[in-house]
Amino acid sequence: MEEALLQQAALMLRDARRIVVFTGAGISAESGVPTFRDDLTGLWARFDAHQLATPEAFHADPDLVWGWYEWRRARVRRAQPNAGHLAIAAIEAQVPDCTLVTQNVDDLHERAGSRLAIHLHGSLFAPRCVAAAAHPATFPAPPDGEAGEPPEGRRIPPPRCSSCAALVRPGVVWFGEGLPEAALSAAVDAASACDVLLTVGTSGVVYPAAEIPRIAARSGATVIQINPQRTPLDEVCAVNLRGTSAQVLPALVAATWGPNGEG
């Protein structure tokens, strides 16, 4: 990553009063949490994540899909936030008007100290009843696999809701499902009003989430991207920092606010 581009991005961040940080699966990659681009393994190897993350897949084989989410949830519980997550918490500490919007369903932003992450696609930690989104699913905690992690590739029957005995499903947004309205409108409002939007670790191909950086650009904000690869969002970015988030974000915070982010 070029030093000159980093300094350019730092200047933009330093002058910004209202910042949006928009993250995708890439920011959790250095915590050992696979991204959606990574090939699935084990029992799920014959699937693409986009096929499994659907109501149809859950309806067709609930044990297979619930097993995948339990394996992912256990994987996240074992993971630690990385320097990229921590750098975002440092930005929030520096800039009072900073809104974090994430496509991720893990809790690594919260565990890194981010106060309020807007989860556009739900959470691995909020399972709910298929029958009535109105009542939170209450059910006995699923049996942990050996050493707290179900072995990879295990089919696990989803629990039954204690209130109505319907199946419990992952509390995530599947392909073909609408995003939580409150989360989406909060993200759109923040993107429409910010000076700078920092997009980190997203392929920018899943809609309507991928519209968020474009809304910011159309509203006159400066968009900065951190990703080792090119993405469709390159075209709306003022600066593209080619690198991993755990490396680039801490460097960007230091270049903007000093080595300890003290401002």
Report how many helices (DSSP H) and strands (DSSP E) the chain contains, helices first. 10, 8
Residue among 36 and 47 whose Cβ is closer to ligand BV8: 36
From residue 72, give the alpha-carbon distance in Å to each of 5, 28, 65, 89, 249: 36, 12, 11, 24, 25
Sole binder of ligand BV8 in the list 57, 76, 89, 172 (CB under 6 A) = 172
Contacts of 254 by beta carbon, 8 Å cutoff, 6+ apart: 261
Q: Does 223 bind ligand BV8 (CB under 6 A)?
A: no
CB of 115 to ligand BV8, least distance (A): 21
Does residue 259 belong to the site contacting ligand BV8 (CB under 6 A)? Answer: no
How many other CB atoms are there within 10 angstroms of residue 223's CB atom? 26
| Complex with ligand BV8: residue 84 or 159, whichever CB lies closer | 84
Pick one of 175, 192, 193, 254: the residue that binds ligand BV8 (CB under 6 A): 175
d(CA 33, CA 24): 12
Whichever of 177 and 235 has its CB closer to ligand BV8, that residue is 177
Query: 211 φ, ψ to 5°?
Result: -75, -20
Among 162, 207, 218, 263, binds ligand BV8 (CB under 6 A): 207
| By the rule CB under 6 A, 123 interacts with ligand BV8 | no
Contact set for ligand BV8, span 20-79 (CB under 6 A): 24-26, 29-30, 35-37, 50, 53
> Mind giving me the DSSP string for 104-144?
--SSHHHHTT-S-EEETTB-TT--EESS-TTSB---PPPPP
Q: Hey, which residues does 223 pair with through a beta bridge? A: 197
135 is catalytic: no
Active-site residues: which are they? Answer: 121
Q: Which residues bind ligand BV8 (CB under 6 A)?
A: 24-26, 29-30, 35-37, 50, 53, 103, 105, 121, 172-178, 201-203, 205-207, 209, 226-229, 231, 244-245
